[in-house]
Amino acid sequence: MASSSSSLQGALLDRAWIQWAALGVDATVEPDDAVVDPEALIALTAELGDADARLRDLSTDWCVAYGRYVNGSRLKQVCRELGTPGEAIGEYVATVATSGGPSWPMATQPRPGYERRGKARMATATSPARLRIRLRAAFGVNARADVLAALLAASPHDLTAADLARATRFTKPNVASALDALVLAGLVVARPVANERRVGLPPKIHILPGLRPPVLQPDWVSRFGVALAVDRFAGRDGMSTTVRAIEARRLIEGLTRRMSAEGMPMPNLDATGDDFASAFDRWLVDLVAWLRVASRA
């Protein structure tokens, strides 16, 4: 299991590098236009930080320079959903704050020895990967920007406030308030359907210059959440084959909904008894391969 865990962690680190580079961190990686979720990326990087000190430090540079476009309350919610260890995110956000960046919740003690390198550059936010940053720059670092991002992904389909709360990880009251403002501004159309209000984007709308739906936006909170949960499990030692098979199936059963929603590969659930441990290991190889091209729809 150690080699599988190492491969999965490597795939997550590669994905983190690709996304940080898309946001403006100085790195030579393959390009990727899928929209980045800043809070999910920060939570992932904080947990994996010790595995790649350079990634941790350069991402901190970006947060010091551009962290004003990160929503601290949403970061807290995303960390809760991902199960990010408190000591990992606490050190990360404390380091950002004490180095001149914004003060987000959960801060503990800053990381000793960090020195800002100034390697992050973001002269414009018009690239596809920076959509959330662009919307937040235009509409504020609040639920309005993320609601618009979710509607751009869903278009031409309408969504409910509950759908949007799940997609954005903002509370239902925040989403409802954002929708009221966006409807008032004419950027969103509300339609009564049965006993609920469904909302969508008006036809042929240009929210910002050159920005039209649909926009590819993987749910990185779900994807990273699955991968991190599996990585934590894969790193456990000392289990017998029987116990591993039982615990692996329990893990997968808890992740199935998210994996299905994101089109992630699934292990062979028809395998029974100890055979499921082998099926899980084979699936882990597939998951690593999938993560390396995980910007696909």
pLDDT at 3 over 80: no
Q: What number is the average pLDDT over the span 260-270? A: 94
Report the C-alpha gap between 190 and 175 in whole angstroms: 13
Output the pTM of the full model: 0.94
CATH number of 128-200: 1.10.10.10
160 φ, ψ (degrees, to nearest 5):
-95, 170
pLDDT at 177 over 90: yes
Q: What's the chain's average pLDDT? A: 93
Q: What number is the average pLDDT over the span 123-145? A: 96
pLDDT, position 216: 83
DSSP state of 108: -
DSSP 3-state of 109: coil
pLDDT, position 37: 98
pLDDT at 159 over 50: yes
pLDDT, position 31: 84
Strand order in the sheet with 196-200: 159-160, 196-200, 189-193
Q: Of the candidates 134, 233, 141, which has an alpha carbon nearest to the alpha carbon of residue 178?
A: 141
Amino acid at 185: A
pLDDT in tens, 17-58: 999 999 999 988 888 889 999 999 999 999 998 899 999 999
